């Protein structure tokens, strides 16, 4: 018989995620597990970890806000390209974590190892779960435990007094006596158990306890009674088992999460002015020698090429910034689903706004209070002050004057503006689309153009200037 590779789990792994609870302490209409950490729902961190674990099936127990939670899960699974593995079961009413387990087990086969996770414990790591699965080995009950200086509120790990120190039970805070409350080793809410054994234990649960709930944690007592070995796998990483029960805990976990991301970026060589003032709510991929000043927020998928510098107070979402580009302070970039690209050596801001479909070539300059949407700017084009470019195709080296706008919307449809290479658009022009400005042409400041122009021509479309010599302004008439 050939030995299995060490990384292979002893049996197929199925995951149950408990997410039916109300989350009363969040004091929010939004179901607790949909509150966001690092820009995505708490629950989506957990299901992503389950996927990375290679779970054969993921069963999410929903209850409070079930429809909203299930819709979020479906969108997530779709995006991850693995909708088949995910199942939701509803727990109505919610009679405790053991009752939640009872709803999930019918979805799972007997040959698997069941890993139980909580939807409100988002940062549980894959490695800890693999260790738990290995400890379970298809025949033991494995608990993830941690020692806290202040264990208040958690289920305590009760062990044999004898030399073995075997785990006998988990006792919930509300059911614990003084001696049990003094135990500092607590249950993290994460366990791994053979499905066939868990099924039997869940069927034997009762709700004779301080909360009249069916406690999942009572399976420990039942396992011990059946002579099944219970192993406690201890972690010392409190972040991984931290639960979110209140806005304060959510904010604390967000900071810890961001700190971890900042450390990872710095380890790659990214220079952060202050790791405590960075928020990455998605993925940020950086080349060498990237510098990021304080208070920047990155959302969705953002890539920063070699030597990119980001000034203070920028918000950048779904964008690719190419090598050597500089984004000056207070710039807002949001590519949404269409994306934004900023070419090599471009200079953007301060106070610029790049919207979906902005494609800027090399060395493009976009200055203060300039908005660009669904427009392509070729290399070396410049719009330095107070301008709007929407649905435009802008050629190389075009200079687009202060205060000029593309009038791209006629109230019903959007139309395109084409500005060919080397055109110079003066200040305060209105380009009424559809329109094409021929290469090398010049548009006089203050023009409103509704017709295309010839290459090389100077076009002026405004009232001719007139002067009246020695003009007498009216004076105030005597009071009558
Ligand atoms: C639970 C454990 C406790 C452990 C702690 C770790 C039990 C009885 N206690 O306590 O030993 O130290 O987690 O954080 O399991 N849920 C449902 N349906 C329900 C009740 C809860 O799906 O009927 C879900 C909740 O949404 C939550 C999870 O189960 O995601 C845990 O429930 P919660 O009420 O927060 O349990 P704790 O009191 O924290
Ligand atoms: Ca909890």
Q: What is the pTM of this model?
A: 0.90
Tell the burial category of 160 from Cβ atoms under 10 Å away from its Cβ (0-12, 13-18, 19+).
exposed
Does 480 reside within a domain? Answer: no
CB distance 176 to 156 below 8 Å: yes
Q: How many domains does the chain have?
A: 2
Report which secondary-structure segment, H or E, holds 18: strand 13-19
Alpha-helical regions (H) of 81-218: 97-104, 126-136, 178-181, 195-203
- Would you state the structure tokens that stand for residue 121, as one six-digit string? 């414990």
Report which protein residue has its CA nearest ligand 1's atom 25.
21
pLDDT at 164: 87
Q: Is residue 2 part of a domain?
A: no
Domain that holds residue 300: 251-459
Is ligand 1 within 6 A of the CB of residue 99? yes
Are 257 and 225 in a shared domain?
no
Residue nearest atom 33 of ligand 1, based on CA coordinates: 21
423 belongs to a structural domain: yes
What is the distance in A from the centroid of ligand 2 to the CA of 20?
11
Take atom 8 of ligand 1 and give the residue whose Cα is closest: 215
- Kindly give, in sequence order, each residue whose CB lies less than 8 Å from that of residue 60, ignoring residues fewer than 6 positions away: 16, 17, 19, 43, 47, 69, 70, 73, 86, 87, 88, 89, 119
Asked, for residue 479, whether it belongs to a domain, the answer is no
- In this structure, the answer to whether residues 381 and 280 fall within a common structural domain is yes
Write the CB contacts of 315 (distance below 8 Å, at least 6 apart in sequence). Answer: 296, 297, 299, 331, 332, 333, 334
- Cβ of 216 closer than 6 Å to ligand 1, yes or no, is yes
Paired strand residues for 279? 297
Residue 472 lies in a domain: no
**CA 446 to CA 435: how far, in whole Å?**
17
- CA distances 216 to 83, 105, 172, 192, Å, are 27, 12, 11, 12
Element (H, E) at 321: strand 315-321
475, part of any domain: no
CA atoms of 390 and 432, how far apart (whole Å): 11
Q: Looking at the structure, tell me whether residues 133 and 43 fall in a common domain.
A: yes
Supply the pLDDT for residue 83. Answer: 67
**Catalytic one among 161, 233, 259, 385?**
385
Instruction: Tell me how far the alpha carbon of residue 52 lies from the centroid of ligand 1, in angstroms.
Output: 23
My answer on whether 190 and 261 are in the same domain is no
CA 85/CA 102 separation, integer angstroms: 19
Assess whether 165 and 293 both reside in one domain.
Answer: no
pLDDT along the chain (480 residues), means of 10: 58 96 93 97 96 95 97 89 85 97 97 97 96 96 97 95 92 97 97 98 98 98 97 95 95 97 98 98 98 98 98 98 98 98 98 98 98 98 98 98 96 96 98 98 98 98 95 84
Cα 118 to averaged position of ligand 1 atoms, centre (Å): 7
In this structure, the answer to whether residues 92 and 32 fall within a common structural domain is: yes
Q: Nearest C-alpha to atom 39 of ligand 1 is from which residue?
A: 154
Residue 221, domain CATH: 3.90.550.10
Any ligand 1 atom below 6 A from CB of 9: no
Residue 353's DSSP bridge partners are 332, 371
CB 364 within 8 A of CB 381: yes
Do residue 277 and residue 407 come from a single domain?
Answer: yes
Q: Which residues pair with 62 in a beta bridge?
A: 19, 90
| DSSP type of residue 217 | G
* Token pair 């298809």 in the structure block, residue: 138
Q: What pLDDT was estimated at residue 451?
A: 98
Active site residue 385: yes
Domain boundary among the residues 192, 220, 241 is at 241
Token output for 426: 């003066």
Assess contact for 112 and 13: CB atoms under 8 A. Answer: yes
Per-residue confidence (pLDDT) for residue 78, from 0 to 100: 84
């Amino acid at each position: 018989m050939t030995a299995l590779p060490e990384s292979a789990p002893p049996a197929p792994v199925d995951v149950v995620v408990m997410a039916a609870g109300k989350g009363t302490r969040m004091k929010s209409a939004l179901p607790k597990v949909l509150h966001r950490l690092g820009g995505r729902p708490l629950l989506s961190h957990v299901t992503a970890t389950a996927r990375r674990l290679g779970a054969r099936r993921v069963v999410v127990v929903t209850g409070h806000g079930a429809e909203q939670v299930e819709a979020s899960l479906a969108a997530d699974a779709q995006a991850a390209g693995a909708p088949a593995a995910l199942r939701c079961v509803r727990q109505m009413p919610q009679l405790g974590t053991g009752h939640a387990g009872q709803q999930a087990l019918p979805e799972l086969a007997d040959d698997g190892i069941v890993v139980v996770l909580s939807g409100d414990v988002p940062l549980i790591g894959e490695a800890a779960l693999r260790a738990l699965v290995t400890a379970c080995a298809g025949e033991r009950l494995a608990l993830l435990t941690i020692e806290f200086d202040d264990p208040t509120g958690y289920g305590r790990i009760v062990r044999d007094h004898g030399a073995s120190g075997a785990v006998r039970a988990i006792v919930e805070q509300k059911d614990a006596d003084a001696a049990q409350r003094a135990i500092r080793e607590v249950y993290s809410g994460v366990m791994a158990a053979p499905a066939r054994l868990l099924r039997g234990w869940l069927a034997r649960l009762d709700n004779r306890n301080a909360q009249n709930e069916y406690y999942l944690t009572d399976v420990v007592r039942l396992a011990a009674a059946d002579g099944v070995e219970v192993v406690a796998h201890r972690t010392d990483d409190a972040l991984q088992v931290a639960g979110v029960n209140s806005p304060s805990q959510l904010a604390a976990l967000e900071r810890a999460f961001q700190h971890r991301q900042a450390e990872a970026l710095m380890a790659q060589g990214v220079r952060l002015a202050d790791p405590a003032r960075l928020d990455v709510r998605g993925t940020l991929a950086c080349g060498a020698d990237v510098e990021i000043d304080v208070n920047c927020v990155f959302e969705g998928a953002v890539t920063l090429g070699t030597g990119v510098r980001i000034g203070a107070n920028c918000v950048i979402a779904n964008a690719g910034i190419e090598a050597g580009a500089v984004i000056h302070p207070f710039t807002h970039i949001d590519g949404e689903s269409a994306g934004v690209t900023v070419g090599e050596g471009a200079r953007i801001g301060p106070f610029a706004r790049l919207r979906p479909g902005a494609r800027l070539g090399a060395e493009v300059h976009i200055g203060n209070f300039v908005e660009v949407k669904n427009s392509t700017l070729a290399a070396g084009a410049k719009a330095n002050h107070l301008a709007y470019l929407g649905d435009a195709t802008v050629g190389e080296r075009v200079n687009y004057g202060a205060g000029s706008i593309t009038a791209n919307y006629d109230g019903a449809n959007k139309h395109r503006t084409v500005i060919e290479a080397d055109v110079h658009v003066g200040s305060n022009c209105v380009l009424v689309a559809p329109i094409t400005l021929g290469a090398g042409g010049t548009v006089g400041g203050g023009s409103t153009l509704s017709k295309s122009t010839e290459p090389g021509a100077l076009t002026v479309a405004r009232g001719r200037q007139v002067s009246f010599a020695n003009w007498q302004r009216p004076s105030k008439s005597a009071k009558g």
